[in-house]
Amino acid sequence: MTEEQDLSEFNSSREFLANKDEVVVVAQAVMGGRVAPAGQGPVENTPPVEPVRLEIEPDAQNRVLLSANVSLENIRVDGDDLILVQADGSEIRILGGALDIPTFVVGDTEIPRDVLVAALNANGFDVAAGSNSVAPQAPAGSGSQFQDGEGGGIGGEGPATLALLGDDTGSFGETGAASFTDVDNFEAILIAGDFEGGLVESADTVGGVDEDAAPATGSISFNDTFYGLTIGAEVATRTLVEAQLDSGLVLTPGQVDALLAGFSLEDADGIATGPAANGDSTINWTYAVPNSAVDFLAAGETVTLSFDVNLTGGNLPTQSIGIVTIVVTGTNDAPEITAQTDVSETLVEDEGVVQTSGAFDVRDVDISDTVSVSGIGVAASGDIAGLPDAAALLGMFTVTPGLAAALIDGASTTGTVAWSFNSGTDQFDYLAAGEQLVITYTVTLSDDSAVAGSVTQDVTVTITGTNDAPVVDTADVTGAVTEPVTPVGDLTDSGTIGFSDV
């Protein structure tokens, strides 16, 4: 039988498929043209001139059966055909394979058409025009170069997709792709991702509602060659990388836990991959914490956290798809007054000293901040006609700790200001009954941030006048007369009495 006769009888894959275990032997034994099916006689031995080119036409079920020991190095698109290139340079042409991607059966293992479509898509071949067609596009990497006259190839340094057709370690049941497991060949391919984010603490609103910081968000895109399944995503590890805090402070376990709890994935139940996306999927992540969880940070202080995102389930081995790093930055929170226990007193003017005292509490949530009394002002209203000057009024008021002394020392967040008022003797005697004098002392507290935050507290002392009786200042209260021997007239004497009323 001549080679021409043998080739004329080999017109479909059916005869070849019946002897699939011998395809590699036959392919390597015969050089050029089509190969005679096994069992129909030897072919002529001819000197090697070029690698074997074997043509296979998919069967009626659009399947291509290959031997279990097929070893592929590259796959190309040539017109309407797919070209499978073996390690020895021999080629297997799948007629019409680029028009309608077939299902490959390698030995006893079935590789569904969806797998090859995804592999081609991931390596530079556009299947967006339809699930049954393939067209070369821009190369996806150094191993996906196009060749004049031969079409584009997907071998080389790209993802290990060719092994899908030469690895029979997987197993397929009636469910096809759903039961395939292969930890070497089916790891997801990272496409793009947001792996860094930041959250800036919102400054507290004194006397108002504190808003939470704007959350950090991002996404991670990947391609699962074995698409059409639901893949789970989970945060595998949550790690405190470092905390840059002033004054040598160390985070408490509770603070660390609250910060690490802020990272979440959009859909903890899994990310569905679908044929329309050709295996491309996206994980959306969010980092958000209540403002109370980051209030302790002073301006410029930072905490760096990392979160390792794993893909699980489907046909994937558990694998890390990326580590997201979040930097939380503090903002200066101004001191605030938390308790006004005694900041207003009403006194009655009386002879002698007018005095009183009180206190109020202060808090600064920025742990490393130092807070002190930075200033005291005074203003008076009401009946002020006989009022001492401002300097005299300031001298009547004192605070503890004093001006510039640390109230909150940078290792705590709360402190108390004690104040006292002492008028000295007879400073407000000018007030008549019912008249009032209101003295307001404004105490300013500031932190030591570069852009200092401050808060003020008014202490009000009201003094009500009383009726003061006139006071005799000078008096000539004695007198004397001498009776003359011979009365001349009335006997008289005189003097003066001086008095005042404040």
* Residues 163-198: tens digit of each pLDDT: 444 433 333 333 322 222 333 444 666 778 899 999
Domain that holds residue 265: 189-329
Question: Do residue 154 and residue 196 come from a single domain?
Answer: no
Q: What is the CATH number of the domain that holds 345?
A: 2.60.40
Whether 424 shows a pLDDT value over 60: the answer reads yes
Question: Do residue 246 and residue 349 come from a single domain?
Answer: no
Judge contact between 119 and 84, C-beta under 8 A.
Answer: no
Question: Do residue 92 and residue 198 come from a single domain?
Answer: no
What gap in Å lies between CA 275 and CA 91, rounded to an integer? 29
Question: Do residue 208 and residue 106 come from a single domain?
Answer: no
How far are the Cα atoms of 57, 401, 455 from residue 112, in angstroms, in the given order?
A: 17, 80, 71
Contacts of 377 (CB under 8 A, 6+ apart): 441, 442, 444
Question: Do residue 26 and residue 133 come from a single domain?
Answer: yes
Domain count, the chain: 3
Question: Nearest-CA neighbor of 190 among 62, 256, 279, 75?
Answer: 279
Whether 435 shows a pLDDT value over 60: the answer reads yes
Question: Do residue 126 and residue 101 come from a single domain?
Answer: yes
Judge contact between 167 and 70, C-beta under 8 A.
Answer: no
Whether 244 shows a pLDDT value over 90: the answer reads yes
Over the stretch 76-119, which tens digit does the pLDDT of each residue have?
Answer: 888 888 888 887 888 889 898 888 888 888 776 777 676 677 66
Is the pTM above the cut of 0.85?
no
Question: Do residue 62 and residue 193 come from a single domain?
Answer: no
Question: Do residue 33 and residue 87 come from a single domain?
Answer: yes
* pLDDT at site 392: 93
Q: Which of 134, 149, 179 is the last residue of a domain?
A: 179
List the beta bridge partners of residue 173: 176
